[in-house]
Amino acid sequence: MIDHPVRLGMPLDEFIMDEENRPYELIDGEKVYKMSNGYDHIELSQLIYDALYDYLKAHPFGRVYKEATFVLPDRADSTWVTGSRIPDVMVVSQEKINHYKMIKPQRSGYPFIIIPDLVVEVVSPTDKFDDVDKKIALYLQDGVQMIWVINPQQKTVGVYLTNQTLRLSGDAVLSGSDVLAGFELKLSELFAKLP
């Protein structure tokens, strides 16, 4: 008897139909459903989105999205999804968006088939550290250039790049590094906007 490797993922069409009913991420072949978020989570996601939106109006690098799904297609079969992610906020370069529009002229009803340049995750009180660490590792594996993990309870931000990890707190300034050159946001000002 010949053992065939298990193929992780699912057909793209099936993913789209299932995800319309209840958003989920596809991680290691398993559906991980999105949970509803609390006030601090929602407020911080909006504050970061607004700051990035304002930055991108002045620096035409790309677009910012909230709670948008992106999928990881199988390299050999574009009708098969090997994974999906729903970051709280993500930034995608205009170059990637233009390329996506060119190769996928019929995009209506499809999730992004693009790897974002920056993703932002806001930690909820119910999140487990192991799950957050796994998500960071997956984003880096996917090819995301920079990840910000915002912890409203500790008033910290973890910054993850392929070759560097930083933990910011207090009056530290969150920087866009090489990904979003010139973007700066003082953490004390960000967290002061929470009640």
pLDDT in tens, 111-152: 899 999 999 999 988 888 898 999 999 999 999 999 999 999
pLDDT computed for residue 176 by the predictor: 95
In contact, 123 and 132? CB cutoff 8 Å: yes
Closest C-alpha to 158, from 143, 181, 139, 182? 139
Between CA 156 and CA 133 the distance in angstroms is 15
For residue 3, what pLDDT is reported? 57
Question: For residue 130, is it within any domain?
Answer: yes
- 2 pLDDT band, cuts 50/70/90, is low
Residue 172 resides in a domain: yes
Confidence of residue 37 (pLDDT cuts 50, 70, 90): confident
Average pLDDT of the residues of the chain: 91
Neighbouring residues of 179: CB distance < 8 A, sequence distance ≥ 6: 91, 117, 118, 145, 146
- pLDDT band at 6; cut points 50, 70, 90: low
Position 119 in a domain: yes
Is position 163 within any domain?
A: yes
Segment 156-183, tens digit of pLDDT: 999 999 889 999 999 999 999 999 999 9
CATH number for 76: 3.90.1570.10
Question: DSSP letter at 33?
Answer: E
Strands 146-151 and 70-73, by their bridges, are unpaired
Q: What is the domain range of residue 133?
A: 10-192
Tell me whether residue 73 is in a domain.
Answer: yes
Question: Per the structure block, which two tokens stand in for 169?
Answer: 């707190």
What pLDDT shows up at residue 1?
Answer: 53
Looking at the domain assignment, is residue 5 inside a domain?
no
Instruction: Specify if 4 maps to a domain.
Output: no
Name the domain count of the chain. Answer: 1
| Residue 2 domain-assigned (yes or no) | no
